[in-house]
Structure 1
């Protein structure tokens, strides 16, 4: 927003600020793209002379969401997704900042590629885009990237995306290197050897469907190893996705020991379980796989407790050729940017999470992890805002989604809660149209 733009007063809103726990009626005053005041005293006509006013109609006004894990095809797989289409999907889902994974072609393993993504996003994306750089060159798990130079170029975290760094010595060196730059190391905690030919959660359901299962130990063994390396090196470590009760206990113990360890969970593992696969629904072939209901309830409880820090969309567009296959041959991955918040609101509606806790995991916590100023409604913070009707019912239609690909696990699902408007620096970038 231009410094010469008039102030903008949002009033008659339910203000939910996960950074402070504020949840009550009031307004937000924005000037030059920055929040300058928040509180119940901001009502219609209380702004400075010439201020633009938006009556929020009692809807929720909250910080824009920050998604730590989105796979975008650009460069190299623009047929699946581009920075432009991903950002449009993000805006429709209330996501104002996305961290794009390095699994592109070429991968984001050199400063020049970081610069390309930042420039391309600046020219085509309507939300903030921050690249996560590769931990190892060509994502091969062997040779480290130049973490210092990549961080200087603008990378906000370091990860090999869906590829786990299986060599403990390589990961130890990466963590030691990253520690000196206070860089965040993110690892996908799934041992590929234990995964083997597995395509869904190991158990009775997999046997019934005749599919190879993935044991929970594929996740927990690697998670245990990574946390021991975090203790050895002192690096900031983030487990990209956890999905089962055993992993929750491992992370809880690490945090109780004072280690700089955090973790995330996919919206899919929070709101779906292995039974949702039904008759081989390939849109629900995911990594980590959907677990049973006991594990799902365990990760929900861990999120409410604060053991799990962030919720991610795990947005991974796939085209028809890779998903219209037998379940065992389909690629992992599902869309998530546009439906993440609505799906998460299911847990608020069932009373398992407060709205503030959900929004903290979707905005304030991930922003803090990558050192970005979003995720809060406070004076001096950027006016990246969403206006949300938490009671708006709708049916997901994949053909109306903004992503290029259509592999949504929530296709035809009934969801409640819709983003009405999304703002970046006080500027409207998305408005819901019922048509």
Structure 2
């Protein structure tokens, strides 16, 4: 199968991309007439497919929120061609059998490359680590208890040793439950004004400090999920300077919104970790710019309309992000002149691919034809009616942005095309 993508910009040069048997065969100005399919890129910009190391597809067991097909289509709509799927489904992916079932589901239903996490411990909360060796053999991309902090230091120490032996990242949702106390938003003046229960930022940084000591002792690749506080950033910065093998991700919402912007009891502003202070947000941006934070990940967390209505006291934590992440980052960081497009691609494609050892993140001859075509010049409005995710829970609805996905190819096959949504 040969496909020619005509009239696209690569590194600001107008070229054609020839795809053969799922690989990029040529990037040049030539027109190959003996192809099976021609796609007119209409002078959009071709990017290496985006890579998201943090998504929730809710499948199996919670498919009223999302399923593998809808979640992967949402990812493709956002320009992502590779995603790493969290294990907090029902049943939890905490045994070799559950992992095998999950891998088969991902392969059968996902329109993008869907790599699978396995749980650190049973039901995400038990003290004994799972069978890392066997789940690594079966194909787990990494290990995490996302949604739960590992409360017991010995559990984390043993898990790090097992992850190191497997040569896979240990991905931590850092949260000390004893410092949460039923909180629903960050400890702040806004929470006090709204009369809402508060979550101490110490719940993140105190557990992170513990984990970094253990990571130093074990040598594991320790990855911090959805980092959110200035204190956590400083801990990671110091750890990197001391040679600890730590990486970190940040979600777009923690870069773009803070708790000073929560003026009403709005469930769309409820997420975990919560939106932090303006000081924290500025620290996250600075850390992303200086390399302390390595990548952007969505933490795509779809919920039903009922679960994200009413008061923050009762609503579910989390927002969707797969379909808005690139456009939000492009608009706020590239269009505003903070970084160039190449840097954004490092944060959202090549860095996560390299650090998680995924065959992605490069728009080069010989590489998989995982390609996204983006319209970068025309503004559009984020509209929940356009989402392919079952979840519509986003605080960014109505925002005008740039960077709209026109086409997403996975191994040379169309996974999303603008105007052809079901």
TM-score bucket of the superposed structures, by smaller chain: over 0.9
Residue 32 (structure 1) aligned to one of 10, 16, 21: 21
Q: 1:72 aligns with which of 29, 33, 57?
A: 57
Alpha-carbon distance, 1:90 to partner:
0.8
How much does 1:387 deviate? 0.2
Among 362, 373, 384, which residue is 1:376 paired with? 362
Does the CA-based 8 Å contact 2:6-2:38 persist in structure 1?
yes
Q: How does 1:403-418 map to 2 (within 5 A)?
A: 403-418=389-404
Aligned-partner SS, 2:82 = strand
In structure 1, distance between residues paired with 2:57 and 2:369: 25
Choose which of 4, 12, 36 in structure 2 pairs with 1:9.
4
1:166 and 2:161 correspond: no
Runs of 4+ in structure 1 deviating by more than 4 angstroms, as ranges, are none
Q: Name the stretch that deviates more: 145-154 or 203-212.
A: 203-212
CA distance in 1, matches of 2:239, 2:26: 38
Cα distance in 2 between the residues matched to 1:141 and 1:48: 60
Deviates further, 290-299 or 102-111: 290-299
Say yes or no: does 1:95 pair with 2:90: no
Q: Which residue of 1 aligns with 2:193?
A: 208
Q: Which residue of 1 aligns with 2:244?
A: 259
Residue number in structure 1 paired with 2:352: 366
Secondary structure at the counterpart of residue 158 of structure 1? strand
CA distance in 2, matches of 1:190, 1:169: 16
Q: Is the 8 A contact 2:266 2:311 kept in 1?
A: no
Match of 1:320 in 2: 305
Q: CA deviation at 1:275?
A: 3.3
Distance 1:399 1:248 in 2: 36
Root mean square deviation, CA, Å: 1.8
Structure 1 residues 24, 307: CA separation in 2 closer, same or farther (over 3 Å shift)? farther
Does the alignment pair 1:232 with 2:204? Answer: no
Q: Distance in 1 between matches of 2:288 and 2:37?
A: 38
TM normalised by structure 1 equals 0.92
> Displacement of 1:160 after TM fit?
0.4
Matches within 5 A, 1:33-432: 33-38=22-27, 42-45=28-31, 47=32, 49-50=34-35, 52-345=37-330, 346-432=332-418
CA contact (8 A) 2:4 2:35 kept: no
State the TM-score, normalizing by the size of structure 2. 0.95
| CA positional deviation for 1:78 | 1.0
Secondary structure of the corresponding residue to residue 377 of structure 1: coil
Deviation at 1:409, TM superposition (A): 2.2
| Deviation by residue 1:377-398 (Cα, 9 ceiling, x = unmatched) | 1222111000001122222221
1:364 match: secondary structure: helix
